[in-house]
Amino acid sequence: MSAVQAARVPGERAVNGRILRLVKSGPELRALEAGQVDAVLDRATGTAHLLPEAERALSAAGGPIVNSLLAALPREDYRSLLGELEPVTLTSGEVLHEPGERIRHVYFPNDAQVSLLIVMADRKALEVGLVGREGMVGIALALRAEASAVRVQVQGSGSALRMNAASFREALGRSLPLQHELLRYAYAKLIQARQTAACNRFHQIEGRLACWLLMTRDRVRSDRFYLTHEVLATTLGIRRVGVTNAATTLQRRKLISYQRGNIRILDGKGLSAASCGCYDIVRNLAS
Amino acid sequence: MGTSLFFALNAPKDNRLLAALPEEDYQALLPLLEPVVLPLGMALYEAGGVQGYVYFPTSGIVSLLYVLENGSSAEIAVTGCEGLVGIALFMGGETTPSRAVVQSAGHGYRIKAAALKTKFEAGGALQYLLLRFTQALITQMTQTAVCNRHHAVDQQLCRWLLLSLDRLPANDLVMTQELIANMLGVRREGVTEAAGKLQAAGLIEYSRGKITVLDRPQLEARVCECYAVVKQEYDRLLPATVLESA
């Protein structure tokens, strides 16, 4: 199931080098399109660009579509982690961690989506973060803490690779690239927390909904996804009727379609313009 | 004030992160520390600025502010003698994302960004403490996000007062309503109303820009849970001492 084997990269120099961005008609993209290499890593965004065949082969094998944090590691470092990574299927609703609990595993989602929630004294939960293939669940461990104050709950079913806490600490100790990748990611999380604090204070529901839909699109890599009113209400910390009103407005402006939880982004640019702007800020600061 | 007198009045170890370092690590850092005065209103960083120094306050409070395009701002987190200001440096950020302003005057030490980065990269107790502090700071920001959404302004004011008091030696805060409004990101009338409520209940006394907390236990009884969550995380994550340099 090794993702490295499946996503074999003969053009290794390109992977270990620092490609700043895949340039249109640049050598990396040409090599990718010509089928000379199976994958190119874009270090600027932490994205792995896979050849369609490689992507298909991976999903056909039931194997992981490479998590971006793992994909951004040099091959040797990645390979040394493989023995400790265990593929798991995460099911929507499953709770991976309760506030204050000792973190037992870290998770690198592939196509699963995981919510970080703050549980309020009145038992209400409010989403404060979202982790998908771009990230890792359990980043507190990389910051040398044993626990974190959030509830971690699976929001979109899918696959992930997990590693137990002890192995993870060991891996972190021996791989400098892993440390750097995770610090960068932790910093992105911090930027996100900061932005959410300001966004919650200043921005209107409609703009926040638009922002959140764009973030979800990035994580699932699709313009279509499923989200109930209830999930959206929890996420945005508003009542369900507020979600209905905001979604209706976005729908009327032909930016999205929304039917019984099935969301489709019709006009990404328009949605971005309708969003509160926090989406762009986080992306720019954290990349 | 001469440097030696400054050191005597504001020992580097008044900063709890510096105090928690093993003696050997502390001694290695000491020659790099420069004393600084932190007067009220001084901006340590502007949003998007290049970071020259990292600051370890020994007294006073520094507020991290989110600044909107229209100039209004809201406080995202506070840091005092328990922490440091400027984590972007070792977390790999190239510029400082937030404005950092002295909210309550004090003193501290600063260290050149490049020098601290080298020490951080070497690992050991310093790296351990700085990372754990970062986790605590993330918790504070996250909780602020929730509080901004869910809790009434008077509860937010209680949270803000308690977080501030924990970082100050006395029970007084010198603060104008306008400044508080900026910190909380609400309108002045909102602050006036909230402070009025707390004053009427006998929790605080508010006159001419000076807030005195009269009844801290009552303030703690009235505050939303956000204060306790943040305090617990800080207590848990920031040890009094790190024994080993590992």
The ipTM estimated for the assembled molecules is 0.83
Beta carbons within 10 angstroms of residue B189's beta carbon: 11
Q: Which residues contact B142 (CB under 8 A, 6 or more apart)?
A: A118, A128, A129, A149, A150, A193, A196, A197
Q: Comparing A12-26, B47-61, B170-184, B230-244, which segment has the lowest mean pLDDT?
A: A12-26
Neighbours of A124 (CB within 10 A): 14
Q: In A132-202, where do the E strands start and end?
A: 151-156, 158-164
Reported as a pLDDT band with limits 50, 70 and 90, residue B127 is very high
In this predicted model, which residue has the larger pLDDT, B6 or A179? A179
pTM (two decimals): 0.79
Q: Tens digit of pLDDT per residue, chain A (287 long)?
A: 333 322 333 333 333 333 334 555 677 767 766 666 667 766 655 566 666 555 555 554 545 557 889 888 888 888 888 889 999 999 999 999 999 899 999 999 988 989 888 888 777 777 888 898 889 999 999 999 999 888 999 988 999 999 999 999 999 999 999 999 999 899 888 888 888 777 777 788 888 889 888 888 887 778 888 888 887 887 777 788 888 899 999 999 999 999 888 899 999 999 998 888 777 777 766 55
Report the mean per-residue pLDDT for chain B: 87
Which of A59-68, A93-102, B32-41, B191-200 has the least mean pLDDT?
A: A59-68
pLDDT at residue A18, as a whole number: 33
Interface test with A, best of B99, B141, B225, B236 (most A CBs within 10 A): B141
Taking CA–CA distances from A120, the nearest residue in chain B reads: B225
Q: How far is CA B29 from CA B61, B85, B170, in A?
A: 23, 17, 30
The whole-angstrom separation of Cα B31 and Cα B130 is 19
Report which of residues B9 and A118 the model is more confident about.
A118
Q: What is the DSSP letter of B241?
A: -
Taking an 8 Å cut-off on Cβ atoms, the answer to whether B149 and A183 are in contact is no
Q: Give the integer Cα–Cα distance in Å for A111 and A113.
A: 7
pLDDT band with cut points at 50, 70 and 90 for residue B41: confident
CB contact under 8 A, B137 and A190: yes
The DSSP symbol for B85 reads: B
Interchain CB distance below 8 Å, A197 and B88: no
Question: DSSP secondary-structure letter at B13?
Answer: G
Strand partners, B45: B100
pLDDT in tens, B46-103: 888 888 899 999 999 999 988 777 777 788 899 999 999 999 888 877 777 788 999 8
pLDDT at residue A47, rounded to an integer = 64
Residues of A in contact with B91 (CB under 8 A): 183-184, 186-187, 190
List B175's β-bridge partners, or say none.
none
Q: Do A197 and B142 touch (CB under 8 A)?
A: yes
Angle at A25 between CA A22 and CA A26, to 5 degrees: 50
Cα A221 from Cα A146, distance rounded (Å):
32
In order of A113, A186, A190, B145, the CA distances from A129 in angstroms are 11, 12, 10, 11
From chain B, the residues in CB contact with A237 under 8 A are 146, 149-150
So what's the pLDDT on residue A6? Answer: 29
Do residues A86 and A108 make contact, with C-beta atoms less than 8 angstroms apart?
A: no
Predicted confidence band of residue B120 (pLDDT cuts 50, 70, 90): very high
Report pLDDT for B40.
Answer: 87
Q: Which DSSP symbol is given to B125?
A: H
Instruction: Calculate the CA dihedral of residues A99, A100, A106, A109 and round it to 10 degrees.
Output: 10
Residues B84, B65: Cα–Cα separation, whole Å: 15
Selected for mutation to probe chain A from B134, B140, B220, B224 (highest A CB count within 10 Å) is: B134
> Is B150 within 8 Å of A237 when comparing Cβ atoms?
yes
Residue keyed to tokens 């929304």: A258
Of B120, B20, B12, the closest CA to residue B57 belongs to B12
Task: Give the Cα separation of B118 and B141 in Å (integer).
Answer: 27
- pLDDT for residue A215: 83
> Are A144 and B185 within 8 A, CB to CB?
no
Percent of chain B predicted with pLDDT > 70: 95
Question: What confidence tier does B202 reach under pLDDT thresholds 50, 70, 90?
Answer: very high
Tell me the average pLDDT across B211-239: 90
B40 contacts B85 by C-beta, under 8 angstroms: no
More confident residue, B153 or A220: B153
User: By CA distance, what is B74's nearest residue in A?
Assistant: A198
**pLDDT of the residue at A52:** 57
All residues of chain B having their beta carbon less than 8 Å from the beta carbon of residue A102 are none
Residues of B whose CB is below 8 A from A148? 135, 139
pLDDT band at B245 (very low <50, low <70, confident <90, very high): very low
CA distance A132 to chain B (A): 19
- Can you count the helices (H) and strands (E) in chain B? 11, 10
Strand runs (DSSP E) across chain B, as ranges? 34-38, 43-45, 53-57, 61-67, 73-79, 99-104, 106-112, 172-174, 204-207, 210-213
Nearest 5°: the CA angle A143, B96, A195 is: 75
pLDDT score, position A11: 37
Q: Could you say which DSSP state residue B169 is in?
A: S
